[in-house]
Structure formats: structure tokens, C-alpha cells
Amino acid sequence: MRAKTALTAGALALTLAAGAGWAAQAAPEHTPAAKPAHARVIDGYQIVTLPNANVPNFQRRTVFCPTGKHVIGGGAEAQGNDAILVGSFPSTDGRGWIALGRQNAYSSVGISVYAICAY
């Protein structure tokens, strides 16, 4: 039974690899240098960053989009020895991104937060 599963996983990997190669070939050869492709498609695309800062374990840090924009994605990073990102999610009003983390041996943790914003 295991051999069959491994074979299926291998076939899937080959199929995915073949598909990735096809997608790369289907992409346009030339993209204008003025704006990244994603910025041309999404009005007001902007990444807003809240740089790393040490905060007490489990304290939330929030980065907000500029006025008039809403968050369409985001992320965070926990920095430090044994740092763990506990949560990374949009604010309830859709205007920002929230993150929190912890370190096992310390009472504080470094947290950076990123929000992807658009109109």
C-alpha cells in the first residue's frame, strides 16, 4: 500500500512540475519595468510595514492601511531566540493586519507586521 501511495505522490509531483513548466512558458516574455504586474492589476496596491520591535509576549501589533485603502492580505514575522508567531490575521474593520508572538525563555518578542493594501 505504501509503494502505491509513493508512486501516486511521485506522479503528482511530475504532473505539478510539468504544469509549472507550461505556466512559465505561457507567461509573457516582456513585462514593463515601470510597475510590477500585480500593481498594474490592483488599484492602489501598496505594502505597508510595521518594522520589528520588541513587545511583551502575546501583545498584538497592528499595521494600518492608508486612509481609503483596505487590507487584501498580510503577514508577520516573530524574531528572536525560540520566537514563535502565534497569530497573523486581518483586523475586524478590514483596514489593517494584526500579529502577535512569544518567546519561551523571554518575556518579550520581536514582531514585524506587513499589510497588503488596495482600494
Model pLDDT, residue 112: 98
Q: What string of DSSP letters covers 22-78?
A: HHHHHS-S---SSS-HHHHHSTT-EEEEEEEEEEETT--EEEEPPTT-EEEEEEEEE
Given a cut of 50, the residues of the chain with pLDDT beneath it are 1-28, 30-32
Q: What angle do CA 103, 113, 64 make, to 5 degrees?
A: 135
Note the pTM of the prediction, 2 decimals: 0.66
Cα–Cα distance, 86 to 63 (Å, whole number): 16
Model pLDDT, residue 40: 65
Of 50, 49, 54, the closest CA to residue 83 belongs to 54
Residue type, 84: I
Model pLDDT, residue 42: 87
Cell numbers describing residue 68: 481609503
Residue range 55-78, pLDDT digits in tens: 999 999 999 999 999 999 999 999
